[in-house]
Amino acid sequence: MNILVLGGSGYIGMRLLETLARTSWGAATGASRGTSRSALPGVAWIRLDTCDVTQLTAALEGFDAVVNCVAGDAQSISEGAKALTQAALQAGCPRIIHLSTMSVYGPVEGIVREDMPLNPALGWYGRAKCEAEQCISAYAEQGGSAVVLRPGCVYGPGSELWVGRTARWLRSKRLGDLGAGGDGWSNLVHVDDVCQAIVAALQLPLEQREVPIFNLAAPDSPRWNTYFIDLAVALQLLPVRRIRQRQLQLDAWLAGPPLKIAQALSRPFKARMGPLPDYISPGLLGLWAQQIFLDATQASERLKMAWTPYEDGLHSSSAWVARENGLLLSGRDTAPCRR
């Protein structure tokens, strides 16, 4: 099977290319708007504007499947999905594996299964992902073959979003035990499990016009407070502070916007200035408190998922942080706290 990975230079895309390179049944090619500095040896690479239907149509010739790992702004997500489905129809309908997100469920709480209606209420990102899923559904109605994956929070070695910056917040004592503000379910899913699900989806038998949708979250993923404390203990970032709700709100609502603007303005001068503190967005405050639990039973059963145990994911994540940032890592203290 010849597989094209769009967004191949991103976190999940690169890990997927590594995974596919180890298989005996698939040959993978990475694609992004620029040449990846970290492109894997022996893996073919093409430069491609994923919003350009003409470029996409030409690129898809000869591929049996395409994995859409494209991230970025709203246009890249929604318009990119629209362009991809148009190009795929013209190129003979290769299978599309589309990476969506739990954000398409909006601010809903409780146990959430895949039949929950889409809700674009969580801002531009959730709205763009909802629009992208609608494009994928339309593609299947026109004869295309597609599978949609909805990961929770993807962590593991190399995860800047849910490991790297979390460790930096813990080190600076801006994050810790959030009390009720951190009692939401984390819905963590290891990056290798996302790749495992993609590989299974590529080989999944499908009925005509069927678009299977799968939540991806490890059944043993903890609440956010547990994860924050466990990661702090593994990195010996002790004591773990109790962060009051007022302090967290001030950080997100007052410090967050200026830090975000400063980061955007400083990108051209990053090498000279050094990294700025990571901003905490108000949206994260809602996520950490949101009582949403992704039910991944369908993925366990149909994709035959063998989920990475939380303890293993925590250890590999903290070990990566320690290697990258020189933080202490105690082999004795890497087991998660039980609360």
The pLDDT of residue 140 is above 70: yes
pLDDT value at position 332? 32
pLDDT bin (cut points 50, 70, 90) of residue 260 is confident
Share the mean pLDDT of the chain.
Answer: 91
pLDDT value at position 329? 44
Residue type, 11: Y
Q: Is 328 left (phi over 0), alpha (psi -120 to 50) or beta?
A: beta
Q: Which residue has the higher pLDDT, 335 or 143?
A: 143
pLDDT in tens, 147-177: 999 999 999 999 999 999 999 999 999 999 9
Q: Is the bond leading into 336 cis (omega within 30 degrees of zero)?
A: no
Which DSSP letter does residue 105 get? G
**pLDDT above 70: percentage of residues in the chain:** 92
pLDDT in tens, 262-313: 777 776 665 554 577 898 999 999 999 999 999 999 999 999 999 999 999 9
Provide mean pLDDT across the span 33-60: 84
Cα angle: 255, vertex 260, 263; to 5 degrees? 120
pLDDT in tens, 86-116: 999 999 989 999 999 999 999 999 999 999 9
CB of 245 closer than 8 Å to CB of 181: yes
Looking at the DSSP assignment, which residues form a beta bridge with residue 177?
A: 242
Residue ranges of the chain that CATH labels 3.40.50.720: 2-156+187-216
Q: Supply 305's token pair.
A: 């998922």
For residue 210, count other CB atoms closer than 10 A to its CB: 12
pLDDT value at position 208? 87
Report which of 94, 22, 34, 29 is spatially closest to residue 65, judged by C-alpha positions. Answer: 94
pLDDT value at position 38? 55
**pLDDT above 90: percentage of residues in the chain:** 80
**Residue 332 CB partners (closer than 8 Å, separation 6+):** none
CB of 77 closer than 8 Å to CB of 129: yes
Provide mean pLDDT across the span 51-74: 95
Express the helix, strand and coil content of the chain in percent, nearest 5 each.
45, 15, 40
Domain 2-156+187-216 homologous superfamily, CATH? NAD(P)-binding Rossmann-like Domain (3.40.50.720)
